[in-house]
Structure 1
């Protein structure tokens, strides 16, 4: 399978092997909250929630539609990202709030799709349903969320204020899977885009996302939604039943939900039909210098090895003379296609082909799924029972159960290595020496290799997730104080099944003897089921394999993943003394968490018996942490000259992890409104992320890269003079050809002393919420600058990246720099060490603006929301002595992102229109790929890229529109996502993972125009 690492990239140095893997979010548009929001502290909602209401505005003498919080029973409100109840609305940090109505009006069919929208992620990379063919953390089918482009492990996901444990399959489970969320009961989603480890603990580096469920439902609600893409494939359905009961003491709310997403294959879309190495632009055609023009059509060949193709129907032999497939001229070749009509000449039965003239397309490749299918069942129950004891306490419980069935259909090439002397080879080809002995040649030199288009193989995943939680909350001993005790246990059990080739079976099948009747049987006497491999001939090379042979060499292998997490916490909060601006508040708490992972790969994977796939050992380990935390809120002044509001908040947390030890995090925030309606705010703090269990305990994994990954392979034809110089310096001949795959060794970093990564986070800005006449309307605007710096980051450098940075270094020295992770043995076989280590630094800087305007127009109410972010820097470096490399503005890392929507409501009818916008710097990608190891730009190489590659994409817009009719007991919403069927950008292949000629970037909508209908009935 293909590998995907959000921080791994390989520079394009005169080669089409450049890879820059990106995990981005699906484009969409949803409503954006005003610059700040707040949260309630009543008995049926979490201490970290936010809602829309007018009450707190009215406390400040304002009116309108700004996002604020309701009062609790004693008149207090609580700001999101804090544990403290307050008596006045605060805007210390920017927040985004999304309501259930906004999710519906925008056409999202699940919580996952809403959370992965541009409005939430602001162009940051995500793992979504487009990555079925890639090796991703959490396994195929998992959907994760990361803010500020810092990845899902640095974003904390909460459900009703309590952290959501990871779920998924395979050893790299480390982030919450959005598929487990109860979409039917979501009331709102709050996004705090600031570090908050001093409040929430580990992982809250880039921000916190809190999903809040409905606490007021009474009766029965039936809800259904269908999303139908115009292409006729990829339809999704969601059906749910929600219920609520409220008695004198008991309150009960729950839901049952079914979701199904059908697959959308590459063959269902037109834009995937003919990927080429170059690009198409406007009315004309422009191609990079590497494009192969098919003589039969006079146009670039589809599915070359540069983009989308894979070698099939081809034989590899030691270099020898043959007739050219196209011209008939005699030449030297090492790749051939079967030609039964060729009975004479130096290579009977074969014609010579080069890189572009070999066969590289099988129609079955297009059956690979662009959108993976899934079937999900979710049940949720929350209940509270009021007591007359323990401070009028309430006992509350939350039960969440979820099961996901997902799959992915992939395409596989089969290579058969025939050993010297094999009777399966024509006599004239038996004595060649093509490759060194390998795992299927039974200890013999390889004389010939057959590249066969095998066909489609399937993989399946099943994940069962359960969270059982509950607690007790009520009045504490002191006047005005509250307490909340919570405990939960989470279970995630995954099974992953893969249909694949087995190395030992292929090896046995290639070791044959004559059956005495002109055929062959396996030489082994220990495997009675063995089926002999086919002779190398036109039929077998063309994929004509018997069912018996196919059944013998393939097997469904099954692995299991178990993840457990236990959490318990206690916090108390209340007033401590009075200040001019109100009561000073204090919150104190303790928390304990314990987590374990146990991933048991298939035995064949553990034994390294999966042919052309990585091996994997058992991942097993646990970690626990004790934490103590506190927060103090100081309202220093209110309603005095030059200080309409002056508030200060400080929090701190002491952490003691079993794995890496102890440490402190802190945060200080403040707001100052010199006059009513004009405010300034700022915050500064530290956060941390403990290494995920898989980063610590990942079982030793050996993988491979193709021989062409060696930068010195055929380096004389490289257009990078630095690589040419360095490969020559170690004594390799100019025509050197790598005959072995590159071995990649990966493991967790526990044994090497992996530590937590730390970060600093600063934000500051201005908030305008003027009091305006009703005839003018309600207006709010915030503009904030932010900067996040992650140090000591846990990461893997990436094997291909390590190799290119090693041999592309102007100060090349074996055993130094990146080359310390590379070993070239006496046979020139390469091994790359790619373990998790503390090495990276990441910086994100930018300016974010939120605007909201509303007023009565004619018979209805108009509301406009907008959110725009301009990233100033998105840089990273792998090693401490490396220069920072800024990817800001490159393809898949946009520097400008915007989300806008407008709604107009007349009585029971609401018209909604949304727009998402993504754009980047037209020169940024060229600059980024032209960076020298010292951080300067190689201008000559940049010009080379511009002359030969096209790495520019236009502004990308996604529109959605809907109409919602709301009656007393019934609501229907109908609309269109991707209203104008936005044209996907096309670039040159060679720089990014591609879908057709479009970069693989989930900010783009590959599905196209989609119609949706949602209906809700209340009883």
Structure 2
């Protein structure tokens, strides 16, 4: 760490954040930038310091929500920023993402490249996939948050490629404080409550200190159809039906091509199925459909579009709008800390975090469009309507492709997280010694109920008549009847089978479950001091070591690996007819088992060298360097380093620069996860079909660490002629190679094309060479690069105005470059200024900013906060950028306003009772309509960037005694 002195350290501070003027002495201000603590040293790495009190003024829900409004956080995950269609991967909670430093694909890595700490101690992953839900941190005891916006791997270790977010606790708090608040949106949803209590006391003659806190947060969530962006069935479709290619560009007539640009349309449907069943003969559609009353009628193809398999109006299907947009959730957070000073030179502490998160939501409904698009009903089934039975050959069949939109599956997830840390700190002969041990465990449980259980489903739909009674055919086969005991027939010709055949539907559905456990143990020790001095001051060094061990275990009742051969499938589905080649255990959420562990051994050192002090044009000139050697049991040894310096020619101005080599090592999930199934609509170049394809993805134990080079150059201006004003401008450039990424199913199909000769073709399974894929395998590798650069601008001003105190803070970011290349040979994709359309929408505006104006007079305070999101162009296809042509391709700039008022009554020595009210999105600004290309997959806006709740109110009380 480094001590940042008055006028320089907090040029990046929030208004009201800790500043030298507020603190009793400069040495009390220790900001996370390096491990060195030294009077007179100014960190070369840019740091934003945000006080918890100021963050709460505009965003009272929690501190991470407030941080995500700052421009240097981009494309973070949060309650309103996560899709809820699938449950195979837990991506819930507040997962911070500095600089959006993840490739915008189906496998975003940005949150994994941000290191989260509490008081300089690494927070272990709260989920087995490696992410950290920052809601586990005790909000009430957070004093401030330090955000290091440059590479910091040499100082703090792996994952600090984008930077570090360090939550600094008020470890000396004495007294009782708490809050009680409730909120709701203007439309009556997203009802939320938060209650918390914290207590601190000294004992044993002030040598001991005890801290305790407990917090509870509840959010009722909301459905998609509660907002305009979730209504009307918006999607992007090709604008030129029957496009004829008159150019040399083979993709000109593809959706998004130059002759078939995407246009925004409503009431968009997928034509491969209907709500109660589109009828097929093999792969050929019969042009008819089933109705809710069991009758058969012509299938209405609606209005054709320039996207194959997509229609406007008619009898296709879409994912229903009445599904979860923000999942209802509950968080229970508990914290305790005990510290004791055994002498003036020796102290020890132990602390524990325990958090439990509960979440529930409606996910994708049951469907019969997996791979080959139908459920097969064989001749002789007594449920086949007479009008249809006459057209079915004696040994023939009829297929049904249906999306039962009323039969949504339900997901329940819980995560229990515990982290205990104990440490000692002392002085030995002028040297400071410090050691910490951390043990962490997380357990994630998921249960998705109401899913088609394929084994039972195929048994239930294959019905014959026995003595005039519909009976599961397998029960008439004595060789397998015991395997299907209790089978109940299901009628797919009478509308919604959940209501017309409740016994059969109950038999044919089940619950997919998995449990993941993650353990983390780490030990860190360091020694720091000043072995000698130069004329400009003492030379400070830190040396130390760190050891980490992590292990992951995942169990599942639907492991695809158990059905990965023809023999295994034949045994599991014994006696059944109509089993699809892509069928596994359940319609969704077939999660593979996983086991793996990793040991990490590290040695690090850092040095700060003062070169000049109080010299002409060099009030201060110093250099800083750090190096860390890390040995991973999984991928070998890697070295990270940092070199930087500061130059203060005059008292009003400081220049700083750093250059570093940073890494992110692959985590256990990326290395060892088992095969997991998924689905997604793809346009197959071979068949021309646009429908769901089954995918399987798994870990890759051969992954290596990602490597990044980071350069920051900037300056801090604190003019003596304008007291209270400070401003910093910092340029940053990050070049990452060997980034871990994976091709999407669509990209694999595009690269393979119709020739079938590319290496990627081996990842595609087809029943025949001309059939739609039955499976596409997705595997991560060190294949990508990422380059980004931009400028951070920070200005703050504090002064007395009249009888009150005014604080103004402006923070802005300009993104000059954000380029990725998925792998060698693919085009470099330029994302700066792009609003990326897709099932995982992200954005990279050229300009983002936040402005906070706070005025306090007597007991009354008012805060106005503005967020600015710059204009962007719509962008879709990373593997083929020429397929990102849109009719009306730009999204205008957006501004959001938050208003907060408070009345504080002082009490005793620093105590208070405060009543507050906040209006977020004061002017109820609707988000732009930005749907995906698959109808109904998400809310029709970019959930990672824009507010989809609208005007929302929060009121409550805070107190401190």
Output the TM-score relative to the length of structure 1: 0.80
Alignment partners' CA distance in 2, 1:378 and 1:120: 27
Classify 1:988/1:741 alpha carbon distance in 2 versus 1 (closer, same or farther; 3 Å): closer
Contact 2:269 2:935 in 1 (8 A): no
Q: In structure 1, what is the equivalent of residue 941 of structure 2?
A: 999
Q: Decide which of 458, 467, 470 is 2:410's aligned counterpart.
A: 458
Matched, 1:952 2:952: no
| Cα distance in 1, alignment partners of residues 545 and 232 from structure 2 | 59
Measured after TM superposition, the shift of residue 188 of structure 1 is 1.0
SS of the counterpart of 2:336?
A: strand
Q: 2:440 aligns with which of 484, 490, 495?
A: 490
* Equivalent in the alignment of 1:652: 627
- Indicate the residue corresponding to 1:146 in structure 2: 97
CA separation of 1:433 and 1:561: change in aligned 2, threshold 3 A: farther
Deviation at 1:313, TM superposition (A): 2.4
Match of 2:710 among 761, 773, 779: 761
Residues 77, 92 of structure 2: 8 Å contact kept: no
Partner of residue 356 from structure 2, selected from 403, 408, 411: 403
How far apart in 2 are the matches of 1:790 and 1:877?
A: 11
The 8 Å contact of residues 855 and 862 in structure 2, kept in 1 or not, is answered as yes
SS of the aligned residue for 1:199 comes to helix
Tell me, yes or no, if the aligned pair for 1:84 and 1:587 is still in contact at 8 Å.
yes
Q: CA deviation at 1:540?
A: 2.7
Aligned length: 871
After superposition, the Cα gap between the structure-2 partners of 1:600 and 1:341, relative to the gap in structure 1 and judged at 3 Å, is closer
Change (3 A) 1:932 1:791: closer
8 A contact 2:95–2:111 mirrored in 1: yes
Match of 1:733 in 2: none
Task: Give the CA deviation at 1:883.
Answer: 3.3
Separation (CA, whole Å) in 2 of partners of 1:820 and 1:508: 33
CA distance, structure 2, for counterparts of residue 98 and residue 188 of structure 1: 5
Corresponding residue of 2:567: none
Provide Cα deviations, 1:870-909, integer angstroms capped at 9, x if missing partner: 1111111111333321111111221211111011111222
Residue matched to 1:876: 820
Partner of 1:24: none
Give the Cα separation in 1 of the matches to 2:929 and 2:490: 42
What is the CA distance between 1:785 and its match in structure 2? 0.9
Label 1:73 to 1:768 Cα distance change in 2 as closer, same or farther (>3 A).
closer
SS at match of 1:118: coil
> For residues 814 and 315 of structure 1, do their structure 2 counterparts lie closer, same or farther at Cα, with a shift above 3 Å needed?
closer
Change (3 A) 1:310 1:304: farther
1:631 Cα deviation after fit: 0.2
Q: In 2, Cα distance between the equivalents of 1:421 and 1:849?
A: 71
Within 5 A, what are the aligned runs for 1:883-894?
883-891=827-835, 892-894=843-845
Q: Where do residues 291-302 of structure 1 align in structure 2 (5 Å cutoff)?
A: 302=266
Contact 2:460 2:488 in 1 (8 A): yes
1-side partners of 2:426 and 2:492: how far apart?
78
Aligned pairs (5 A) from 1:526-605: 526=482, 527-534=484-491, 536=493, 539-540=494-495, 544-603=499-558
CA contact (8 A) 1:683 1:762 kept: yes
Structure 2: distance between partners of 1:209 and 1:820:
42
Change (3 A) 1:906 1:452: closer
Is the contact made by 1:697 and 1:749 (CA closer than 8 Å) also made in structure 2?
A: yes
- Residue 637 of structure 2 is aligned to residue 662 of structure 1: yes
CA gap 1:813/1:682 in 2 versus in 1, 3 angstroms:
farther
| Per-residue deviation, 1:405 | 0.9
Q: Could you tell me how far apart the structure 2 residues matched to 1:111 and 1:426 are?
A: 60
For residue 203 of structure 1, give the secondary structure of its aligned residue in structure 2: coil
The question of 1:305 aligning with 2:274 is answered no
Q: Distance in 1 between matches of 2:89 and 2:300?
A: 44
Q: Which residue of 2 aligns with 1:181?
A: 137
Considering only aligned residues, what root-mean-square deviation do their CA atoms show, in Å? 3.4
How far, CA to CA, are the matches of 1:932 and 1:795 in structure 2?
13
2:785 to 841, 846, 849: 841
The answer for the alignment partner of 1:729 in structure 2 is none
Residue 170 of structure 2: aligned partner: 214
- Superposition pairs of residues 193-272 of structure 1, within 5 angstroms: 193-247=149-203, 248=205, 249-272=207-230
CA distance in 1 between counterparts of 2:587 and 2:512 reads 14
Measured in 2, the distance between the counterparts of 1:419 and 1:508 equals 11
Tell me: CA distance 1:859–1:406, structure 2 relative to 1, closer, same or farther (3 Å): same
Alpha-carbon shift at residue 558 of structure 1 (Å): 2.5
Cα deviation, residue 118, structure 1: 2.6
- In 2, the alpha carbon distance for the partners of 1:183 and 1:605 equals 41
Change (3 A) 1:135 1:108: farther
Deviation at 1:223, TM superposition (A): 1.2
* Match 2:670 to one of 671, 685, 695: 695
Partner of 2:287: 334
- 1:579-728 maps to which residues of 2 (within 5 A)? 579-603=534-558, 607=562, 609-706=584-681, 708-714=682-688
Q: 1:120, CA displacement in angstroms?
A: 5.5
Shift of 1:336: 2.5
Query: In the alignment, is the contact (CA less than 8 A) between 2:150 and 2:162 conserved in 1?
Result: yes
Q: CA deviation at 1:543?
A: 6.3
Residue 611 (structure 1) shift: 3.1
SS in 1 for 2:670: helix
Deviates further, 911-920 or 134-143: 134-143
Matches within 5 A, 1:408-487: 408-415=361-368, 417-423=375-381, 424-426=383-385, 429=388, 447-477=399-429, 479=430, 481-487=431-437
Q: Is the 8 A contact 2:70 2:811 kept in 1?
A: yes
Aligned with 2:269: secondary structure? coil
Where does the alignment leave 5 or more consecutive residues of structure 2 unmatched? 102-109, 243-262, 303-310, 369-373, 476-480, 564-583, 836-842, 907-911
Q: Distance in 2 between matches of 1:832 and 1:701?
A: 12
The answer on whether the counterparts of 1:429 and 1:448 sit within 8 Å (CA) in structure 2 is no
Residue in structure 2 matched with residue 919 of structure 1 by the alignment: 870
Q: Which residue of 1 aligns with 2:952?
A: 1010
Is 2:7–2:718's contact at 8 Å kept on the other side of the alignment? no
Distance 1:764 1:289 in 2: 49
3-state secondary structure, aligned to 2:506: helix
Give the structure-2-normalised TM-score: 0.84
Say if 1:228 and 1:210 are closer, same or farther in 2 by CA, change over 3 A.
same
* Alpha-carbon displacement from aligned partner over 1:439-492 (angstroms, at most 9, x marks no partner): xxxx99764445544422210011111111111101123x2x211110010010
1:49-88 matched pairs, under 5 angstroms: 67-68=19-20, 75=27, 78-88=30-40
1:535 Cα offset (Å): 5.3
* Preserved CA contact (<8 Å) 2:560 2:677: no
What secondary structure does 2:834 align onto?
coil
Look up the SS of the partner of 1:867 in the other structure: strand
Aligned to 2:574: none
Secondary structure (helix, strand or coil) at the match of 1:179 reads helix
What SS does the aligned partner of 1:82 have? coil
- Residues 401 and 519 of structure 1, relative CA distance in 2, 3 Å threshold: same
- After TM superposition, give the deviation of residue 77 of structure 1 in Å: 5.8
**CA deviation map 1:792-835 (0-9, x unaligned):** 1112222122223443xxxx863436546445563434343311
**Deviation of 1:682 (Å):** 0.6
Does 2:872 match 1:909?
A: no
Alignment of 1:272-287 (within 5 A): 272-277=230-235
* Cα displacement string for residues 154-183 of structure 1 (whole angstroms, at most 9, x for unaligned residues): 110001111111123xxx521111221211
Contact 2:350 2:422 in 1 (8 A): yes
The farther-off stretch of 204-213 and 579-588 is 579-588
Q: 1:73 to 1:953 in 2, by over 3 A?
A: closer
Q: CA separation in 2, counterparts of 1:675 and 1:688?
A: 36
Q: 2:461 aligns with which of 505, 510, 532?
A: 510
Counterpart of 1:790 (choices 736, 746, 771) is: 736
